[in-house]
């Protein structure tokens, strides 16, 4: 009896359930989709952007008025941490547009996420992360400049730009801030859209967001760069461009979520 043994084939590579294999320029498509959503009912998106701008301007004015201007720069960067929470209404508009549903400003201001109050928990966690970043910034200042009183913004900028101690603080502060920014982006980029659309808890949504960002690093880094550049340009222009930029990025974030969770 000369029965041939069955041929043994190598195991097929396991498919990565998290990887979407999207090119980096897909992030530009999300940005264009965000602009299209803004233009489909621009008054709604711009009114929402104005509402967010008023909130941010009031918060920054309060810092200056109550003598907390020493955390003004960290607070500006910290706005990106809580940005996904503030953009919930923009996700709702994009969701309704994709479903062919009517959109009203009331729907955007009073969103009813599938995950209910887990959105509040996620927002609290992101706010806590921002507060930790603000405290870390104060500690860094004390480590480099001691316990001297804050000299004011008019003296701080030359001190950072033209002294070796200032350069060192900028380098270390940039590295620490970069870590906070990376963490906040990884857990916040997709978690709020997930909570809006899917039944989930806040920690699971944040973990899912982190895993999706990690397994789609190329396109998500491109999206993070777009968000950072547009936000930095808006801050450098006195925050007014945020009235337009924030809605575009909010709508674009919804499209990034739909690409990651088809």
d(CA 21, CA 217): 10
Cα angle 189, 192, 198; round to 5: 120
Please give the model's pTM, rounded to 2 decimal places.
0.88
The residues, ordered by sequence, that sit 6+ positions from 211 with a Cβ below 8 Å of its Cβ are 18
Which pairs from 205-212 meet CB under 8 Å and 24+ separation? 205/115, 205/118, 205/122, 206/122, 206/125, 210/186, 211/18, 212/18, 212/260, 212/261
Residue 11 lies in a domain: no
Residue 5 lies in a domain: no
d(CA 220, CA 225): 9
d(CA 262, CA 258): 5
Residue 134 lies in a domain: yes
Residue 102 lies in a domain: yes
Residue 213 lies in a domain: yes
Tell me whether residue 73 is exposed, middle or buried, using C-beta atoms within 10 angstroms of its C-beta: 0 to 12, 13 to 18, 19 or more: middle
In which domain, by residue range, is 126 found?
26-60+72-260
d(CA 159, CA 148): 13
Residue 8 lies in a domain: no
Residue 2 lies in a domain: no
Spatial contact of 245 and 230, defined as CB atoms under 8 Å apart: yes
State how many domains the chain has. Answer: 1
Q: Encode the chain (262 residues) as per-residue pLDDT tens digits.
A: 556 656 666 655 555 688 888 999 999 999 999 999 999 999 999 999 999 999 998 988 888 888 777 778 788 888 888 899 999 999 999 999 999 999 999 999 999 999 989 999 999 999 999 899 888 888 888 888 777 777 777 777 788 888 888 888 889 888 888 888 899 999 999 999 999 999 999 999 999 999 999 999 999 999 999 999 999 999 889 889 999 999 999 999 999 999 998 6
Backbone angles phi, psi at 199, to 5 degrees: -75, 110
Tell me whether residue 140 is exposed, middle or buried, using C-beta atoms within 10 angstroms of its C-beta: 0 to 12, 13 to 18, 19 or more: middle
Residue 4 lies in a domain: no
């Amino acid at each position: 009896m000369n029965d041939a043994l069955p041929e043994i084939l190598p195991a097929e590579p396991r498919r990565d359930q998290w990887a979407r294999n999207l090119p980096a320029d897909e992030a530009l498509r999300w940005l264009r989709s965000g602009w299209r959503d803004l233009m489909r009912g621009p008054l709604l998106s711009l009114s929402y952007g104005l509402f967010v701008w008023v909130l941010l301007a009031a918060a920054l004015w309060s810092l200056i008025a109550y003598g907390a201007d020493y955390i003004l720069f960290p607070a500006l960067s910290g706005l990106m941490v809580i940005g996904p929470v503030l953009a919930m209404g923009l996700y709702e508009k994009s969701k309704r547009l994709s479903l062919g549903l009517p959109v009203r400003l009331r729907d955007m201001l009073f969103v009813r996420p599938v995950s209910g109050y887990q959105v509040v928990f996620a927002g609290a966690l992101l706010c806590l992360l921002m507060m930790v970043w603000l405290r870390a910034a104060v500690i860094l200042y004390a480590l480099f400049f001691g316990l001297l009183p804050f000299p004011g913004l008019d003296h701080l900028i030359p001190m950072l730009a033209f002294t070796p101690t200032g350069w060192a603080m900028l380098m270390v502060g940039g590295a620490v801030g970069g870590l906070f920014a990376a963490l906040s982006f990884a857990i916040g980029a997709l978690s709020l859209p997930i909570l809006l659309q899917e039944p989930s808890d806040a920690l699971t949504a944040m973990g899912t967001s982190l895993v999706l960002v990690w397994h789609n690093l190329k396109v998500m880094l491109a999206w993070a760069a777009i968000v950072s550049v547009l936000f930095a340009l808006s801050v450098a222009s006195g925050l007014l461009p945020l009235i337009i930029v924030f809605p575009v990025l909010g709508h674009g974030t919804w499209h990034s979520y739909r690409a990651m969770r088809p």
